Amino acid sequence: MRLAKCCRPVPGDTIAGYVSLGRGITIHRADCKNVKALMKSPERFVEVAWEGGNESSYRVELQIDEYAGAPVTAEQRPEPDGGEDPGGRAP
């Protein structure tokens, strides 16, 4: 079993399992554009679910786009968990 690189599902996402030839089951987000394309072969989908709670830490990739105003530096962005910011100042 592997996580799809196209949509990068994380625990908590609604997911779909697709039996890939020679690769086993690939887990996609249910709303992935590739899942819609793969529906040409619905017999290759299997029911999958996340196991356990959603309390673990895991790496994710974020893209932050700024559309208006002055550029934001890393020192100005608060940490997502409310901890110290990269400049060492408390929030």
In a domain, 34, yes or no: yes
In a domain, 55, yes or no: no
Number of domains in the chain: 1
Which residue shows structure tokens 């990068």? 8
In a domain, 13, yes or no: yes
| DSSP letter for each residue of 6-36 | TT---TTS-EEEEEETTTEEEEEETT-HHHH
In a domain, 15, yes or no: yes
In a domain, 80, yes or no: no
In a domain, 18, yes or no: yes
In a domain, 42, yes or no: yes
Q: Which residue has the higher pLDDT, 25 or 66?
A: 25
Give residue 7's domain range. Answer: 2-46
Confidence (pLDDT) at 67: 73
Structure tokens at 85: 């910011």
Residue 61 CA neighbour count, 13 Å, CB half: 5
Reported as a single tens digit per residue, the pLDDT across 9-30 is 988 899 999 999 898 999 999 9
Name the pairing type of β-strands 45-46 and 24-29.
unpaired
φ and ψ at residue 37, rounded to 5 degrees: -70, -35
In a domain, 87, yes or no: no
> Would you say the pTM of this structure is higher than 0.75?
no
